[in-house]
């Protein structure tokens, strides 16, 4: 992705030109014979529906409102696509910033002559639902939807100003035949843009500097579907991203807006809802007491971090700024991630600890384009501190994430350390931490092949954080996902947890269970791959569109001891040790039998955390071989 200014004349040298006729909206309900007859998407044959047209035109009115007129046309290809008739349009409703108007929607079905009148959606069928404090959803259902229907709807979005200009996505979870975006820029304003697209897809761009416009178009875009361990979908969606880069002031002088990371840092550090809050003396007595009673910088950092987590509630929103001031956040004892973490930066600085705010983009939010300072590519602010010579990335909204453990949601991302002198892009990694579980299983098998057993799981580092989060969020779902799901004939008798009182103590889970083992031809089959999380190969698709991002390394160790009835005959599988070609993934399984006792040891270590889509075939092959090996049964012949 490379940024470019709309006014750059050199663009004409290497982009495709587009005729003005292609920028006009087609007549509502008028379709080509190809559109009517289409029953399969040739460039995405598995699709249940296709977007024939997604077209938007952006302009302004006399009050500089940003007005977007949009038309969407969808063809239902088969019965699986009927749900595509339920339309949802999100809009930014906070403080009345955006509203929708002139909404029209029709379903067109075709008779023997190729046409019948469109069925209009009644105005009473449109309803608005508040999603959160920022966004609302316009919802409506298209009538009489069936295979072969063409759905068409139109609306106008009006925003208070061009601050709502963010990005245009050419791609969705449906294939798109044509997507276009015509943008008119306010006089005296310049916007930078960057294009994110797959190398084998083309984009047409037509700048019109004399009219203050620019046009973008893409065609024949396959759907983007969710894949296991993928990065944020927005990292792969074909799109163009915008940000204000300059303007002409009242004196006719051209002013640049954050065209470099340095300028962005300087601007943020003087903003009243960001940098200017960080050195204010909030006169918090509790912080002064912590500073006086703790000797080392780390002890001060940890105490202040835990103090904020205990006393300031997270409202569930991210955010980068503190619009009402840090004093207000402290007084109301509640805030967004940005507000809480900027308060953390302030408290740590007041304790004499070198601390900086960091703009962060969580993995689910999407990657940061490091070539240009698009501030909207970050979704929250966290803290970066140096205590006793060690570096710490801190997010005080993460309840079970201790100092020294980089927040899981930020692994393999890029942050921006904000400071006038020490500004820097920061690669965020797990360091030497991993997802670590140590599992011990002991059990007895009766002569009917029923196993009665207990499992003890000790979770460390990322396993500790994520499992604590999960069990606190939904205990029943946690048991199902980690101990029941995928194990045929297994029932849980009891489940106990011991939540650690210190971040140096692992999270322990104790499970008592029974399992009726599979039997065939007088033989019992024991699958000893218990609770490792490696029961199934997640990589089964023949192709991969996105990178595989595990986030952290893995270290899973399980030791089992199963007593069987005297006289049992055992067919032991071969001990195996698998190693990937790059030596970054290793799985071993050892099985022994002595004194009527089966002993099984499984060890899985994965050092690699990010795998490019091009290396997917090798990863898929290794995981298949590994899960087959781990699931290979131990065959028993029980005594009569």
Contact 348, 288 (CB under 8 A): no
Architecture of domain 435-637 in this structure: Sandwich (2.60)
Beta bridge partners of 496: 510
Pick from 216, 261, 224: which is nearest to 240 by CA?
A: 216
pLDDT at residue number 25: 87
* 90 secondary structure, DSSP code: E
Question: Which DSSP helix (H) or strand (E) runs through 105?
Answer: strand 98-108
C-alpha triplet 293, 400, 304: angle, nearest 5°: 20
E runs forming strands in 468-506: 490-498
Q: Say what percent of the chain tops pLDDT 70.
A: 94
Taking residues 160-166, what's their average pLDDT?
Answer: 89
Q: pLDDT (tens digit, 9 = 90+) per residue, 241-263?
A: 887 776 665 555 665 555 789 99
pLDDT at residue number 242: 86
pLDDT at residue number 249: 58
Instruction: Please state the pTM of the whole predicted model.
Output: 0.78
Q: pLDDT (tens digit, 9 = 90+) per residue, 530-554?
A: 999 999 999 998 878 789 999 999 9
Architecture of domain 3-21+41-248 in this structure: Sandwich (2.60)
pLDDT at residue number 10: 28
Cα–Cα separations (whole angstroms), residue 521 to 518, 524, 525: 10, 9, 11
Residue ranges of domains in the chain: 3-21+41-248, 261-428, 435-637
Mean pLDDT lowest for which of 12-16, 223-227, 514-518, 579-583? 12-16
Q: Pairing between strand 554-563 and 435-445?
A: parallel
Gap between the Cα atoms of 519 and 351, Å rounded: 66
pLDDT at residue number 356: 98
Structure-block tokens of residue 435: 């997802």
Q: 3-state SS of 115-151?
A: CCCCEECCHHHCEEEECCCCEEEEEEECCCCCCCCEE
Residue 382 CB contacts under 8 Å (≥ 6 apart), including other chains: 337, 341, 357, 358, 360, 393, 394, 395, 407, 410, 415
- The helix/strand/coil state of 107 is strand
Pick from 614, 546, 613, 609: which is nearest to 226 by CA?
A: 546
Contact 639, 566 (CB under 8 A): yes
Residue 405 CB burial class (10 angstroms; 0-12, 13-18, ≥19):
buried
Mean pLDDT lowest for which of 169-173, 254-258, 309-313, 521-525? 254-258
Q: pLDDT (tens digit, 9 = 90+) per residue, 432-451?
A: 999 999 999 999 999 999 99
Q: 3-state SS of 321-356?
A: CCCCCHHHHHHHCEECHHHHHHHHHHHHHHCCCEEE
Question: What end-to-end distance do the CA atoms of the chain give, in Å?
Answer: 70
Taking residues 334-342, what's their average pLDDT?
Answer: 96
Domain 261-428 has CATH 1.10.510.10: no
pLDDT at residue number 100: 97
Contact 129, 137 (CB under 8 A): yes
Contact 412, 547 (CB under 8 A): no
Given pLDDT bands bounded at 50, 70 and 90, which one contains residue 26? confident
Pick from 167, 570, 182, 221: which is nearest to 377 by CA?
A: 167
Q: Pairing between strand 3-5 and 203-208?
A: unpaired
Q: pLDDT (tens digit, 9 = 90+) per residue, 99-147?
A: 999 999 999 998 877 777 789 998 889 999 998 777 899 999 999 999 9
Structure-block tokens of residue 336: 């967004």
Cα–Cα separations (whole angstroms), residue 284 to 304, 308, 329, 330, 403: 12, 12, 12, 9, 22
pLDDT at residue number 1: 39
């Amino acid at each position: 992705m490379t940024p470019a200014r709309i006014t750059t004349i050199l663009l004409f040298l290497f982009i495709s030109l587009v005729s003005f006729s292609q920028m006009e909206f087609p007549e509502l309900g008028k379709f080509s014979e190809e559109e009517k007859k289409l029953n399969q998407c040739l460039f995405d044959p598995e699709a249940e529906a296709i977007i024939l047209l997604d077209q938007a035109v952006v302009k302004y009115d006399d009050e500089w409102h940003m007005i977007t007129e949009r038309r969407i046309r969808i063809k239902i290809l088969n019965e699986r696509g009927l749900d595509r008739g339920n339309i949802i349009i999100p809009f930014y409703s906070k403080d009345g910033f955006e509203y929708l108007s002139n909404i029209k929607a029709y379903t067109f079905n075709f008779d023997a002559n190729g046409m019948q009148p469109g069925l209009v959606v009644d105005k009473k069928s449109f309803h608005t639902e508040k999603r959160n404090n920022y966004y609302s959803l316009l919802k409506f259902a298209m009538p009489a939807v069936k295979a072969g229907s063409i759905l068409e709807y139109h609306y106008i979005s009006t925003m208070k100003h061009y601050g709502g200009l963010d990005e245009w996505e050419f791609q969705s979870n449906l294939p798109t035949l044509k997507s276009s975006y015509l943008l008119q820029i306010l006089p005296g304003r310049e916007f930078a843009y960057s294009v994110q697209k797959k190398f084998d897809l083309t984009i047409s761009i037509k700048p019109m500097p004399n009219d203050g416009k620019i046009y973008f178009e893409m065609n024949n875009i396959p759907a983007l579907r969710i894949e296991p361990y993928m990065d944020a979908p927005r990292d792969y969606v074909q799109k163009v991203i915008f940000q204000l880069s300059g303007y002409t002031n009242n004196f006719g002088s051209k002013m640049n807006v954050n065209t470099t990371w340095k300028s962005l840092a300087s601007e943020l550090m003087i903003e009243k809802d960001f940098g200017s809050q960080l050195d204010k003396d909030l006169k918090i007595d509790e912080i002064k007491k912590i500073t006086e009673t703790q000797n080392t910088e780390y002890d001060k950092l940890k105490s202040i971090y835990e103090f904020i987590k205990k006393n300031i509630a997270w409202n569930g929103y991210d955010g980068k700024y503190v619009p009402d001031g840090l004093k207000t956040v402290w007084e109301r004892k509640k805030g967004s991630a940005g507000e809480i973490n900027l308060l953390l930066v302030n408290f740590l600085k007041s304790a004499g600890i070198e601390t900086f705010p960091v703009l962060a983009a969580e993995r689910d939010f999407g990657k940061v384009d490091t070539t240009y300072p698009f501030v909207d590519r970050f979704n929250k602010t966290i803290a970066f501190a140096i205590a006793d010579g060690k570096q710490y990335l801190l997010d005080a909204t993460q309840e079970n994430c201790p100092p020294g453990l980089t927040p899981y949601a930020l692994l393999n991302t890029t942050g921006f350390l904000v400071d006038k002198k020490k500004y820097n892009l920061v690669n965020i990694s797990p360091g030497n931490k991993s997802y670590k579980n140590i599992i011990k299983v002991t059990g007895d098998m009766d002569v009917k092949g029923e196993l009665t057993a207990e499992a003890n799981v000790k979770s460390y580092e990322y396993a500790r954080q994520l499992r604590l989060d999960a069990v606190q969020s939904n205990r029943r779902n946690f048991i199902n996902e980690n101990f029941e799901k995928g194990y045929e004939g297994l029932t849980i008798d009891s489940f106990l947890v011991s939540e650690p009182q210190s971040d140096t103590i692992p999270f322990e889970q104790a499970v008592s269970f029974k399992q009726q083992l599979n039997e065939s031809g007088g033989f019992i089959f024991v699958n000893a791959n218990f609770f490792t999380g490696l029961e199934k190969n997640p990589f089964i698709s023949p192709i991969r569109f996105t990178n595989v991002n595990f986030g952290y390394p893995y270290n899973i160790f399980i030791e089992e001891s199963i007593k069987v009835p005297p006289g049992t005959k055992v067919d032991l599988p071969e001990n195996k040790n698998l190693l990937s070609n790059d030596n970054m993934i290793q799985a071993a399984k050892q099985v022994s039998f002595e004194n009527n006792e089966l002993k099984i040891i499984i060890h899985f270590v994965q050092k690699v955390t990010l795998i490019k889509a091009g290396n997917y075939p090798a990863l898929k092959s290794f995981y298949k071989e590994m899960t087959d090996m781990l699931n290979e049964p131990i065959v028993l012949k029980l005594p009569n």
